[in-house]
Amino acid sequence: MEKILISACFLGEKVRYNGEIKTAPNSIIASWHEQGRLVSVCPEVSGGLPVPRAAAEQQATGLVITQAGVDVTDAFTRGANIALSLCETHNIRYALLKESSPSCGSNTIYDGSFSHRKIPGQGVTAALLSAHGIKVFSEENIDQLITILTA
């Protein structure tokens, strides 16, 4: 049975920067959860950041900075490495991560100006996983992941 790395916020865990939850992007998530296929991770919390925490955005330089100018890149990098380790441990080839997050965004991230503008790009974790051959999906393209896993 193929395991899937999933953002903990999709499973209702209060790990987002503001302590809010995100609901699962598709009803099939509950089925995968019941089957024991999901390996949950919040890279930011795994990297040592608290909940709640200051919002952060990835800068053009690659650094991840809070709006107050605090560099949290090391925590994001630690969390990304923990996510990769989970994938290696569980032989995971697919991840379902929260779009636009500075950790998990697979197609878009916020532009680093804290103006709510999104740009094409990958978060720290999504980029590391992709570089290691793990296919990263988001709630915006979950249908592609479902097709792969049900084919």
Q: Which residues contact 127 (CB under 8 A, 6 or more apart)?
A: 80
Task: Tell me the C-alpha distance between 62 and 109, whole Å.
Answer: 12
pLDDT at res. 1: 84
Does any domain span residue 12? yes
Whether the CB-CB separation of 10 and 102 falls below 8 Å is answered with no
Residue 117 falls inside a structural domain: no
Nearest-angstrom CA–CA distance, 12 and 98: 12
Q: Does 30 fall in a domain?
A: yes
85 in any annotated domain: yes
Q: What is the pLDDT of residues 35-61, one digit of tens each?
A: 999 999 999 999 999 999 999 999 999
Q: Is residue 66 included in any domain, yes or no?
A: no
φ/ψ of residue 43, rounded to 5: -55, -35
Q: Which whole-number Å values give the CA distances from 96 to 35, 103, 108, 115, in the listed order?
A: 16, 12, 14, 26
- Residue 63 domain-assigned? no
Confidence (pTM) = 0.96
Cα–Cα distance, 4 to 48 (Å, whole number): 23
pLDDT in tens, 108-138: 999 999 999 999 999 999 999 999 999 999 9
Please report whether residue 40 resides in a domain.
yes
- Tell me what pLDDT residue 24 has: 80
> Domains in the chain: how many in total?
1
Range of the domain at 38: 4-53+73-98+122-150
User: For 64-92, what is each residue's pLDDT tens digit?
Assistant: 999 999 999 999 999 999 999 999 999 99
